[in-house]
Amino acid sequence: MAIDFNEAFRVVLALMNNGVPVPEHFRSELPAIVSHWLHNPIKDPLILGNVEGEKWRRFLSAYGKLNHERFFILKKSAYLTRNGFKVDFTDFPFPPTSKKPKFKFIDLFSGIGGFRIALQSLGGKCVFSCENDPMAKETYFKNFGEYPFGDIRKFTGKGITDQELAEFIPDHDILSAGFPCQPFSKAGVSARNALEKENGFSCRDQGALFYDILRIAKIKRPKVLFLENVRNLERHDGGRTIQKIKNAIECDLGYSFYMEVIDASSVVPQKRERCYMVCFRNKRLKFSFPKINGAPKPLREILEPSPSASYTISKRLWVGHQNRTVRNLSRGVGFTAFKADLNKPANTLVSRYGKDGKECLVPQRGKKPRLLTPRECARLQGFPESFILPQFKLTAYKKFGNSVVVPLVRKIAFKITQKCF
């Protein structure tokens, strides 16, 4: 017997809205609390604890008996809980593993779930996710049946004691995080310089979020930290930023620190150099990144056969791109617009791609070039075809531009799991 996830989610939320006390600080997090709980109904809901847990379990069992026909459906991906009910996740393309998990992980700054797809496919179970962009949360929910919690600082900020943090964030083996990169990325740094804003760690909004990761790691002591960031992290502030990260991980935390810049273009048809960091609690474990060195993949491999005409850029935009490219090339600064070579990998997909597509315009015979479609962007990042795309085009471009290359992360994670699990 299995409980349909969507119905269970709806009825528990309705029960909660009937006046169950949720601390003010977490009131907006109810969908996250309930959906996280449905992934592990043996345990008590995060934040709320065992009184609510017992109540929800009793309520769902009783509700199930009353609404037997509609509520219980037997499907494959369900799993059994202490109270004898299973939750059915077959409406979601990436259901949690129904077997005993090989390891548990948390998905911080989850975006649309690139790390999660990779780690789940290796037998991992996600026990906590957080992401503060509402559109990314919606996409994440549609794919995994879980609303990530919002701002990480609700769990790590000044008012939260170590004991509260330890209780709120479940124990886990791998902490995965592609932490916000704008303060370190080349484009981010020059835009911030132009606006005379802070960048790197002094950027209070985003750069400093590394210290939130550090605080979680200090208290929860997972076996592994698996982090990803832009290539420029290595060079930022003359190498001082990466040195600070390394020192914090090695000295404050007492973990080992391995880092490598890897280009994804032999795994997916996109030039994407990223900085990957793997850190072990057990310093005796020796780690080497997988060798990623095949032939670069051609962009044509992932193109849709007949995308809608709406992706073709206007004459005005194309002329504007060309004029600016000529001007910028003569000054040696600024952007240049590229018509892609279909036999080579695409340029790096960035979050602003949807604005005008200048990083990668697909040539078309007898027409102006076109933007990549959201599905093509998903493929450039190695997301499976079953991935449900963000609802709006601009959101899709932004989210895929920020996400990780799933199969590459999987290759690194595979090496990690060989070492540890």
Ligand X SMILES: C[S@@+](CC[C@H](N)C(=O)[O-])C[C@H]1O[C@@H](n2cnc3c(N)ncnc32)[C@H](O)[C@@H]1O
What does the binding site for ligand X look like in residue numbers (CB under 6 A)?
109-112, 114-115, 130-133, 136, 151-153, 178, 180-181, 206, 209, 402-404
Residue number with CB closer to ligand X (114 or 407)? 114
Nearest distance from C-beta of residue 127 to ligand X, angstroms: 17
Nearest distance from C-beta of residue 210 to ligand X, angstroms: 11
Residues 79 and 118: their CA atoms lie apart, in Å, by 21
Burial class (CB in 10 A: 0-12, 13-18, 19+), 103: buried
Nearest distance from C-beta of residue 18 to ligand X, angstroms: 29
Token reading at 76 = 């494959």
Residue nearest to ligand X (CB): 111
Residues 307 and 310: their CA atoms lie apart, in Å, by 8
Helices (H), 72-125: 114-121
Residue number with CB closer to ligand X (39 or 116)? 116
- Find the largest Cα–Cα distance for the chain: 74
Residues 226 and 255: their CA atoms lie apart, in Å, by 12
- Amino acid type, 393: K
375 CB-near residues (< 8 Å, 6+ apart): 304, 389
DSSP 26-76: GGGGHHHHHHHHHT-TTSPPTTT-HHHHHHHHHHHHHHHHHTHHHHB---T
Residues 115 and 227: their CA atoms lie apart, in Å, by 10
- Does residue 104 contact residue 172 with C-beta atoms inside 8 Å? yes
Residues 347 and 349: their CA atoms lie apart, in Å, by 6
- Going from the C-alpha of 370 to that of each of 35, 297, 308, 391, the distances in angstroms are 39, 20, 10, 20
Residue number with CB closer to ligand X (153 or 339)? 153
Residues 324 and 347: their CA atoms lie apart, in Å, by 18
Residues 88 and 82: their CA atoms lie apart, in Å, by 15
Residue number with CB closer to ligand X (52 or 107)? 107
Residues 210 and 225: their CA atoms lie apart, in Å, by 12
Nearest distance from C-beta of residue 413 to ligand X, angstroms: 13
Task: Confirm whether 275 is a catalytic residue.
Answer: no
Rounded to 5 degrees, φ, ψ at 13 are: -60, -40
Nearest distance from C-beta of residue 235 to ligand X, angstroms: 18
Residue number with CB closer to ligand X (71 or 383)? 383
- Which of 181, 275, 360, 377 is an active site residue? 181
Residue number with CB closer to ligand X (151 or 237)? 151
Cα of first residue to Cα of last residue in the chain, in angstroms, is 32
**From the CB of residue 17, how many other CB atoms can be counted at a distance below 10 Å?**
10
Nearest distance from C-beta of residue 179 to ligand X, angstroms: 6
**From the CB of residue 352, how many other CB atoms can be counted at a distance below 10 Å?**
15
Nearest distance from C-beta of residue 199 to ligand X, angstroms: 15
Residue number with CB closer to ligand X (86 or 272)? 272
Nearest distance from C-beta of residue 29 to ligand X, angstroms: 12
Residue number with CB closer to ligand X (48 or 227)? 227
Residues with catalytic annotation? 181
